[in-house]
Structure 1
């Protein structure tokens, strides 16, 4: 019997520090980074001996080199205890683990460079970066204490000594409320812009029971996502269109301003300087990130909502996407509106975000072949014709008008059912009577035929 897969997800717990707290947190991060820089030099110097050790063996081996105790008064690098007075033991071990990772990464990259494994022939050798922007990991009881979920006590450095300070928690998510989730050691993230705890959770999704439907998603240009919930018998029990138009308009308005500023800067000729409108592009990327989360969250919510019908099929409910990896747009002239729409297509972002959210609930995401999903009518009547004035409208050979994206979602759902049940009788076959092209793929009607052979 398969054990449930562990999934690690990280929550952000917003903190509201006072001016005094900010000063203490800043000193704590500063001294932790100094300790990491110090340890990187020690570990790299002795890497020929330390590199062969396991993670459990490496930490005590490094401490023998630099940490003085009553039983170990003589060490090779006694300056550490003098420079970092009363440095907490758990922070010291976290710094050793981080520094060892930095050294190990550098040694591996440098060996690859020496062996000739380079992106370019003239690529420079990698450098060991000891000045990293790391943040301290906090261990329960030793470095932080939770008082409910409203306050947290953190051990901080005031410039001469280590003491406890209390900070208000102002923002949480829901992962700490799930019984199966196990909270791991958080990291204190503090700089000029942000102050929060980065809290990882080990999630153990429950094994999903066999279900009777799949949630199919068609990712489009005019409509961001079209969703259809299809049962194994071919019945569509829910359909929905997702298109966060307000966020898309905000993004497109900013991108349009870039072209206007570029024409004013260059005139009829010339070149733009490096980093032109970088802040605007950064803002647009963040809007795209938000759109991806909004759409993926709604997809997962729909999959959860229609996860109640039980039948005796040997599979669990899944979310089905088209396999669009490596797909490149063919339509649209250079600098045309259609080409710009293709650049704003969030097919990979939505798919990846959905997979992360759905895996946390124990669900399965599968991909099917994208060929002929929108081109074939779901009722098996043949190839559809797209309206030249309104491309989202499709005309079936029978004369029926239907939404092209919804038609594609129906066919994607059918292929997902066939793939999950490991029955490919609906794929890879041709039909002269229905007018399908050679090597046609499964449509929704193939599920009807499987459920009722008299329809064949």
Structure 2
């Protein structure tokens, strides 16, 4: 097995500054942003000579233009040292790196626009955004000093000078407790929800010795996620339904209020103004974000508990839902289907533990019975219920999870997955439509 690659994840530590410290932190962020705007102009003006430099070469080249020293008394832009008095050297270099990234991005996008690479024919040219919402990166020893995990000493700007102040940390995550994780330079983040330290960690997962099983996930609209742990011999050792109904009801209740308010606003005709119910939609997006994390966290917990070799999803990229019957809410349910969000969140969490995510063909996972009896019949009144040709009644989502797990096993461990499966040319189901019963036939395949 290959050594797992390093991954970078970020924790958010909540700060509890005093009223005076809030002013100092806000002033520090503001002066850093003003410095970035100033540097964007300098770097863009000289991009012809700076654009071909490496990152290590660019920073000293920019400093030669705007930072006065004893050995370099004559510079082209002496206003920087006057405007940003005693600006810390580490913050200055961080601002240069960020500003260079802004200019590089703009130049690339503008060249693409000039060459005709546009989403629309009438697309306007990109603009250089010097007024950015960036946050200052803090370097250990120079800009911040961590005293345990209760207090952080931060260098802040008080309007005339740079001073140190102790800020209490009231909320932590868990990544700092992992010995193999390496803490990188944090950033001060200020928004309408509070004051935080955004702390990135370099995570180096340990080598895994997984068991001979996979964790299969069937993502649905009636049940958010149906999970089945399938061994390489076709035995299902765990099955679980994950459906945070309370959060889903909170989201749907808010979305339903939008149509009511829209009808009261428009009447029988007319148009809604731009940004109509924007706060409600923002709240629903945050609820969806929370649902994605709740479900993905549970999937990873199960995979970790059974030490699975992989987590298996259906490949639903590019899938488009079909509208339901008139006056049905099926289309709204599909809009709230978090298939991509849950899959992406799961992959991020699982990669941090050194695991891998596998995608299999989605066709006929729920339509074929896991026992090989053929196509199932779905109940028209209760679509989550499936009836096999033998008369057996089974949960359709769980049946799909079994088949997803079987396809994941064949994709991972079978040297030759065409044993007992015919090709498309024979008129029978293609080899990619593996069911759980195919693992029973093949026995216990050896690892490839």
TM range (shorter): over 0.9
Give the 3 Å change call, closer, same or farther, for CA 334–97 of structure 1 in structure 2: farther
Aligned equivalents of 1:152, 1:270: Cα separation in 2 = 55
The residue number in structure 1 matching 2:159 is: 159
Q: Report the more deviating stretch, 436-445 or 239-248.
A: 436-445
Pairwise mapping of residues 162-241 of structure 1 onto structure 2 (< 5 A)? 162-241=162-241
Question: How far has the Cα of 1:424 moved from its partner?
Answer: 4.7
Give the whole-Å Cα distance in 1 for the aligned partners of 2:182 and 2:203.
7
Residue ranges of structure 1 left out of the alignment (5+ in a row) = 308-315
Cα shift readout 1:71-128 (whole Å, capped 9, x = no counterpart): 1111111111111111100000001001111111111111111112122222222221
Partner of 1:439: 430
Q: 1:341 aligns with which of 324, 327, 333?
A: 333
Shift of 1:428: 9.0
Structure 1: distance between partners of 2:381 and 2:192: 52
Extract structure 1 runs of 4+ deviating beyond 4 A.
none
The CA deviation string for residues 374-397 of structure 1, in whole angstroms up to 9 with x for no partner, is 111111111111111111111111
Pairwise CA distance, 1:323: 0.5
1:363 to 2:358 alignment: no
TM-superposed CA distance for 1:353, in Å, is 0.5
For residues 348-427 of structure 1, what are the structure 2 equivalents within 5 Å? 348-425=340-417
Change (3 A) 1:266 1:300: same
Change (3 A) 1:446 1:115: same
Contact 1:228–1:406 (CA under 8 A) maintained in structure 2: yes
Q: Could you say which residue in structure 2 is the equivalent of 1:131? A: 131
| Match in the other structure for 2:106 | 106
Q: Is the 8 A contact 1:418 1:426 kept in 2?
A: no
Cα displacement (A) at 1:330? 2.1
Does the aligned pair in 1 maintain the 2:189–2:198 contact within 8 Å? yes
Asked whether the 8 Å contact 2:205–2:354 carries over to 1, the reply is yes
Q: Deviations over 1:155-203 (max 9, x none)?
A: 0000110000000000000001111111100111124442101110010
Per-residue Cα deviation, 1:330-385 (whole angstroms, up to 9, x for no partner): 25136521111111111111111100000000000000000111111111111111
Contact 2:384 / 2:396 at 8 angstroms: preserved in 1?
Answer: yes
2:10 match: secondary structure: strand
Given that residues 50 and 61 in structure 1 are in contact (C-alpha distance below 8 angstroms), is that contact kept between their aligned partners in structure 2? yes
Give the 3 Å change call, closer, same or farther, for CA 335–140 of structure 1 in structure 2: farther
Q: How far off its partner does 1:429 sit?
A: 2.8
> Per the alignment, do residues 59 and 428 of structure 1 end up closer, same or farther by CA in structure 2, a change over 3 Å counting?
farther
Give 1:3 shift: 3.5
Question: Partner of 1:125: helix, strand, or coil?
Answer: coil
Contact residue 315 and residue 362 of structure 2 kept, 8 A:
yes
Write the mapping of 1:3-402 to structure 2, written as runs, cut at 5 A.
3-307=3-307, 317-333=309-325, 336-402=328-394
Structure 2, unaligned runs of 5 or more:
none
Q: 1:276 to 1:427 in 2, by over 3 A?
A: farther
SS across alignment from 2:127? coil
Higher mean C-alpha deviation, range 138-147 or range 187-196: 187-196
SS in 2 for 1:410: helix
Match of 1:312 in 2: none
Shift of 1:430: 4.5
Q: In the aligned structure 2, how far is the partner of 1:443 from the partner of 1:48? A: 60
Q: For 1:240, what is the secondary structure of its paired residue?
A: strand
Partners of 2:167 and 2:191 in 1: how far apart?
16
- 8 Å CA contact 1:207–1:362 kept in 2: the answer is yes
- Distance in 1, matches of 2:140 and 2:123, equals 44
SS at match of 2:69: coil
Partners of 1:426 and 1:442 within 8 A in 2 = no
Where 1:108 maps in the other structure, the secondary structure is: helix
Counterpart secondary structure, 1:317: coil
Partners in 2 of 1:246 and 1:452 — Cα distance?
Answer: 41
Q: Report the Cα distance in structure 2 between the residues aligned to 1:395 and 1:427, rounded to whole angstroms.
A: 28
8 Å contact 1:427–1:442 — kept in the other structure? no
- Per-residue deviation, 1:426: 5.3
Answer yes or no: is the 8 Å Cα contact 2:5–2:204 preserved in 1: yes
**Number of the residue aligned with 1:311:** none
Deviates more, 1:202-211 or 1:237-246: 202-211
Q: Secondary structure at the match of 1:423?
A: coil
How many Å apart are 1:319 and its aligned residue?
A: 0.2
